[in-house]
Amino acid sequence: MLLNLFGTGREAMSSIDTAWLRMDRPTNLMVITGLMLFEGHVDFARLQQVLEKRFLQHNRFRQRVVKVGSNAYWENDDDFDIANHLHLVALPGKAGRAELEVMVNDLISTPLDFGKPLWQFYLVENYHGPDGPSSVLVSRIHHCIADGIALIQVLLGMTDKEADGDHAAAPKKSRLAMAEDDDADDLFLRLYKPVAKAYSGMLKSYFKVLGTSYGLMTNPAKLAELTQTGLGVTQGVAKLVAMPADPKTKFKGKLGTAKRIAWSDSLPLDEVKHVGKVLGCSINDVLLACVAGALRGYLLQRGQSIAPDMQIRASVPVNLRPESKAGKLGNHFGLVFLSLPIGIANPIERVYEVSRRMEELKKSYDAFIVLGLLSVVGMLPDALEQPAVDYFSTKSSAVMTNVPGPREQIYLAGKKVDNLQFWVPQSGEIGLGVSILSYNGGVNFGIMTDKKLAPDPGAIIARFQSEFEKVVLATLMQDWNGPPDSEMAALAIGMWAKFGLVPRSA
């Protein structure tokens, strides 16, 4: 809705986007950071032309945020200059991964300038990757502008299937990591798809009630009563409110302002699919079990005592974007709380336990409830929002998100994109972020930690590959009935060879 406030045309920010805006604090900046690694050098002028033609077609990236009391508005920046947002930088010396990591660490701890539109791009012109000199594009976009699913759509609108595609109009069709008819269990954004359509009508009236009832935050029973649904909302709200705080680990504590990041090499998506197929689990089940194993190993390394039944929760975004908003920016997701079974040492048992818990989440309506609560939070005065955010942040030790990236090779400004990475921000007092992104047949992991709590995220990221290898080897040692799976057999041969071992049948 457009408002004329003090004679200036301003667009009211949605209550949900306002909630993410006001979660910004020195110890946790609400900024999504990404890396795009190229094959070869990107021409700066050509990149600028692509951004002007495709990125800036979204007017939101030309608007700044204006705060008036507890409300927030989008206002066109009459002095907008892309030179204030797109920067050509050079790293010191023969810059490699370590130097790039230092640069990103500095950026993620630096607030964006609220006097301008809330995004920045940095083109690193002298990066030396494993295949030689190249370029890297570092992006920073405030969470109040859009969520990860929307930003992937923006990315796809900027890129092409061929090197010279930027001379044509932007692609009309998005090419996500999986097609609509692929296994719905393999991506978080599909978890609630079977019920989203039926729920959408009720959701409209649900938000209308929320928008006029600040007291719902302190009266969850009333929230459930007013929705008047048989979808288990009453039990869901009660469960969220009664949920105990997460256990004290090395990942919980007083946060600082400095953050640290790390990223993984790509894990072949086909290999993860093969293992999931043999175990009768989804890709996500396998990946999340590897995350749990990596966090377990890190805590043990840091001297943490871990009981067999120990678990830590991760706040997991779930896409609730209606089809009518498919091409729009903004935030349209709720959160579910997934308990990671870090106390389970056996990698196969851990996969099955994650699978069981994921099935339980799919039957709940937690994501819709949290989306509604975020709508309320965004309309509360600042003094009330911060305690509400802090309260829910005690329930989790991490934010963990899984975003489907492009399924095939993409090009930007005429250059092949070798790989993509991103880091999800944390809210409140949460000091750990885990990001999973699929791209061109691979799966990438990103970790962001608070320097005071976990100064060495590389020690976590280094464990993902080994945790997957443990799952593969443990799978090979199982006694299976029925004919062998040819894809798994091929993977097994490669894995045995990697470790210099001889298969049992030899």
Decide which of 2.60.120.260, 1.20.1260.10, 3.30.559.10, 3.40.50.261 is the CATH code for 2-167.
Answer: 3.30.559.10
Number of other residues whose CB lies within 10 A of the CB of residue 2: 10
Q: Phi/psi of residue 131, each to 5°?
A: -105, 10
pLDDT above 90 for 219: no
Tell me the per-residue pLDDT of 464-506, one tens digit each, with 9 for 90 and over: 999 999 998 888 776 555 445 556 556 666 655 555 544 444 3
pLDDT above 60 for 381: no
Which range (245-249, 271-275, 333-337, 487-491) has the least confidence?
487-491
Tell me the per-residue pLDDT of 95-145, one tens digit each, with 9 for 90 and over: 889 999 999 999 999 999 999 999 999 999 999 888 788 999 999 999 999
Q: How far apart are CA 231 and CA 387, in angstroms?
A: 28
- DSSP class of residue 28? B
Q: How far apart are CA 500 and CA 502, in angstroms?
A: 7
Number of other residues whose CB lies within 10 A of the CB of residue 126: 17
User: What does 70-117 look like in DSSP terms, one character per residue?
Assistant: TEEEEEE-TT--GGGTEEEE--SSS--HHHHHHHHHHHHTS---TTS-
pLDDT at 215: 43
Q: Pick 175 or 295 by higher pLDDT.
A: 295
Tell me the per-residue pLDDT of 31-80, one tens digit each, with 9 for 90 and over: 999 999 999 999 999 999 999 999 999 999 999 999 887 788 999 999 99
Tell me the per-residue pLDDT of 140-159, one tens digit each, with 9 for 90 and over: 999 999 988 888 888 888 99
Which range (17-21, 302-306, 321-325, 459-463) has the least confidence?
321-325
Q: How far apart are CA 75 and CA 126, in angstroms?
A: 36
pLDDT above 50 for 214: no
Mean pLDDT, to the nearest integer, of 15-43? 90
What is the average pLDDT score of the chain? 78
Q: How far apart are CA 1 and CA 15, in angstroms?
A: 12
Q: How far apart are CA 100 and CA 112, in angstroms?
A: 19
pLDDT above 80 for 357: yes
In the chain, domain spans? 2-167, 184-498
pLDDT above 80 for 387: no
433: β partners: 399, 448
Q: The dihedral of CA 141, 145, 148, 153: what is its sign? A: negative
pLDDT at 95: 84
Q: How far apart are CA 267 and CA 304, in angstroms?
A: 28
Confidence of residue 320 (pLDDT cuts 50, 70, 90): confident
Which range (15-24, 80-89, 189-198) has the least confidence?
189-198
pLDDT at 238: 58
Which range (88-92, 336-340, 430-434, 440-444) has the least confidence?
336-340
Its pTM stands at 0.82
pLDDT above 70 for 182: no
Q: How many CA atoms lie within 13 A of 445 on its CB side?
A: 28
Q: Pick 171 or 440 by higher pLDDT.
A: 440
- DSSP class of residue 309? T
Closest CA to 388 of 370, 409, 400, 412: 370
Q: How far apart are CA 91 and CA 89, in angstroms?
A: 7
- Domain 184-498 CATH class label: alpha beta
Q: The dihedral of CA 291, 295, 297, 298: what is its sign? A: positive
pLDDT at 392: 64
pLDDT above 90 for 358: no
pLDDT at 22: 84
Q: The dihedral of CA 90, 91, 92, 97: what is its sign? A: negative
Buried b (16+ CB within 10 A) or exposed e, 401-411: bbbbbbbeebb
Can 2-167 and 184-498 be said to share one CATH topology? yes
Q: How far apart are CA 277 and CA 273, in angstroms?
A: 6
pLDDT at 390: 62
Tell me the per-residue pLDDT of 236-257, one tens digit each, with 9 for 90 and over: 555 666 667 788 899 999 999 9
pLDDT above 80 for 205: no
Distance of CA 146 to the CA centre of its chain: 12
Buried b (16+ CB within 10 A) or exposed e, 96-122: ebebbbebbbebbbeebeeebbbbbbb
pLDDT at 212: 39
Helix axes 458-476, 347-362, angle to 10 degrees: 100
Helix axes 458-476, 283-301, angle to 10 degrees: 120
